[in-house]
Chains A and B, each alone.
Chain A
Amino acid sequence: MSIDWLHFTPFASFAGGLLIGLAASALILMIGRIAGISGILGGLLHPRQSDTAWRIAFLAGLIAAPTLYRLAAPLPEFQLDSTVMVLIPAGLLVGLGTRYGAGCTSGHGVCGLSRLSPRSLAATICFITAGVLTVFVTRRLLTP
Chain B
Amino acid sequence: MTQIAAFAAGLIFGIGLLVAGMANPAKVLGFLDLAGKWDPSLAFVMAGAILIGLGGFAVARRRTRSLLGLSMTLPTNRRIDRRLILGSLAFGIGWGLSGICPGPALVLVGVGSAKAWIFGAAMLAGMVLFERLEA
Which residues of A come within 8 Å of B, CB atoms?
A: 1-4, 7-10, 12-35, 37-38, 41-42, 45-47, 53-55, 57-69, 75-82, 84, 86-106, 108-119, 122-124, 126-136, 138-140
Contact = CB atoms under 8 A, between A and B. Distances in A.
Interface string B2-18: 11111111111111111
Given A91-B125, A135-B32, A17 B84 contact: no
B89 A13 contact: no
A19 B125 contact: no
Interface residues of A, dominant DSSP: helix
Interface residues of B, number: 118
Interface of B: 2-27, 29-30, 32-42, 44-57, 59-61, 63, 65-68, 70-75, 77-80, 83-103, 105-111, 113, 115-116, 118-131, 134-135
A26 B1 CA distance: 13
B111 A66 contact: yes
A25 B57 contact: yes
Contacts, number: 511
Nearest to B60: A28
A92 B70 CA distance: 34
Contacts of A133: 92, 96
Contact of B129 (A32, A81, A95, A113): A95
Given A93-B90, A93-B97, A106-B103, A115 B52 contact: no
A71 B91 CA distance: 33
A29 B60 CA distance: 6
10 contacts: A9-B44, A10-B41, A22-B56, A24-B9, A57-B2, A88-B118, A91-B118, A123-B87, A135-B29, A136-B34
